[in-house]
Structure 1
Amino acid sequence: MDKQTDRQDCEQNHSSENACSAGVLDWSKHRLRQWFDNQALIRGLDQWDSAELDRLLSESGLTRRGLNALLRGGDSSQPLMAQVMERFGVTEALSQQNFEVLRDVQRVCTTCPHKVQCRRLLKETEGSQPFRSFCLNAGTFEAFEESKNQ
């Protein structure tokens, strides 16, 4: 979440500056905890045999670069992904039937460079059309949408 979005969200959701500051402080604590957790995970992964780690990542459809992007992305993309899927009419039941595809969708969302644009459009627009021009998962969501209608 960028600082501008944080401030705007805070102004919209809190009536006083103190409440807003408390919200930002809570968010900062949460992000710091995530960072420490990720650092502990990275230290743990550093202890793995290099070939074994590469094999495990390969089985998961990841590379070392992809893993680093996932660790940096944290869980901030999960709510965005769920909302965009809803805009495309992708139900949870439908996505659970396609677990392998859903895992790829999550990976793409987590590493997506368009989170700020996505968050803004979720607030300012309706429907899926605004996302079709930039969402890296739009084609997958459209395929889900088509399979639902068959």
Structure 2
Amino acid sequence: MTLNIADPVRHTMQQILSWFAQGFEASTETDVLANLDQAQIEALAEDCGLSPHQLLGLVKAGPHAADEMPQVMRALNIDPDEVDYQMRKLFRDMQIACSSCQSKDQCRHDLEAGTIGKTFVDYCNNAESLNSLRANPDLLMER
């Protein structure tokens, strides 16, 4: 296979555009929320089943703040799609907990190192829920 010199340039440009789009997406959501009055924020939070404080925290955390959660689930042999389907409220609550996590660097490191199965209980906001899900054979991925 010959590598076209334009391929690395195209890949780099796509990466930059992706970073820009993610930043724009997050800033747009924050800007929209900033333009709402307190009553509108409270109504929106209630519609989402959140407190206004939780809603503001989620928006500030950004749209990818819980991206690690499904990765951790898969590493623990838990099917995130099945959990989302069967236990929507729990899945959402776990996303909220993950988005406010202060141990993201440790989590990402452990995911990369393949040690998350041994270490998550030490710092993960969702450790108790994850262990409970691991005990349910209906929620495990097929191997």
Shorter-chain TM-score range: 0.7 to 0.9
Q: Does the CA-based 8 Å contact 2:97-2:125 persist in structure 1?
A: yes
- Choose the corresponding residue for 2:57, options 62, 69, 75: 69
What residue in structure 2 maps to residue 87 of structure 1?
75
Q: Does the CA-based 8 Å contact 1:87-1:126 persist in structure 2?
A: no
The more displaced of 105-114 and 74-83 is 74-83
CA RMSD of aligned residues (A): 2.8
Q: Does the CA-based 8 Å contact 2:26-2:63 persist in structure 1?
A: no
Q: CA deviation at 1:29?
A: 1.0
Taking the aligned partners of 1:43 and 1:149, their CA distance within structure 2 comes to 42
In structure 2, stretches of 5+ residues that fail to align are 1-7
Q: Does the CA-based 8 Å contact 2:78-2:134 persist in structure 1?
A: yes
- Choose the corresponding residue for 1:109, options 92, 98, 101: 98
Taking the aligned partners of 2:14 and 2:111, their CA distance within structure 1 comes to 21
Paired residues in the alignment total 131
1:84-125 CA deviation, whole Å, 9 max, x = no partner?
011222212133200010110111111111111111111112
Taking the aligned partners of 2:26 and 2:138, their CA distance within structure 1 comes to 42
Cα pair distance change 1:129/1:90, threshold 3 Å: same
Q: 1:118 aligned to 2:118? A: no
- Choose the corresponding residue for 1:35, options 7, 23, 26: 26
TM-score for both structures, normalised by structure 2: 0.73
In structure 1, stretches of 5+ residues that fail to align are 1-15
| One-letter identity of the residue aligned with 1:42 | L
- Choose the corresponding residue for 1:128, options 112, 117, 138: 117
